[in-house]
Amino acid sequence: MVWNLVAREGEIAPGKAKLVQVDNKQIGIFYEGNKYYAILNICPHFHAEICKGHVTGTLICHSFEEYEMRHDELVLRCPWHHWEFAMDSGKAVIPSIKQRLKIYEVKVEDGNVFVAV
């Protein structure tokens, strides 16, 4: 595992990924809620560029008529078939879907953002 410099702090606007190339892998760097995420830009379903998808909260259903949008657990929604994956773990929101995103470790040092690949 090697730490790779991928961005400067403050360079990435919330809601948009910065796409970087590391070791022939295209990785989307996100900054959401004061936290960085690094996600391989391949949806495990049919290989869409998932980092071009939408970042959103998690919709919790309390009852038939009562829903709550929570933003403490962010998900990335694929632009093709709208499968959603947790940005922290890469797990699909729907438990029956076993495919998951490839997530990379991120660290920030001296204003620089690094990804472990």
Binding site for ligand FES (CB under 6 A): 43, 45-46, 48, 78, 80-81, 83
In the complex, what is the shortest distance from the CB of residue 19 to ligand FES, in angstroms, rounded to a whole number?
Answer: 16
Q: Which is nearer to ligand FES, 43 or 113 (CB)?
A: 43
In the complex, what is the shortest distance from the CB of residue 94 to ligand FES, in angstroms, rounded to a whole number?
Answer: 11
In the complex, what is the shortest distance from the CB of residue 60 to ligand FES, in angstroms, rounded to a whole number?
Answer: 21
In the complex, what is the shortest distance from the CB of residue 89 to ligand FES, in angstroms, rounded to a whole number?
Answer: 17
Q: Which is nearer to ligand FES, 97 or 112 (CB)?
A: 97
CA distance 66 to 98: 28
Q: Which is nearer to ligand FES, 19 or 112 (CB)?
A: 19
Q: Which is nearer to ligand FES, 51 or 117 (CB)?
A: 51
HSE-up of 13 (CA within 13 Å, CB side)? Answer: 2
**Do residues 80 and 43 lie in contact, with contact meaning Cβ atoms separated by under 8 Å?**
yes
Question: How many residues are given for the chain?
Answer: 117
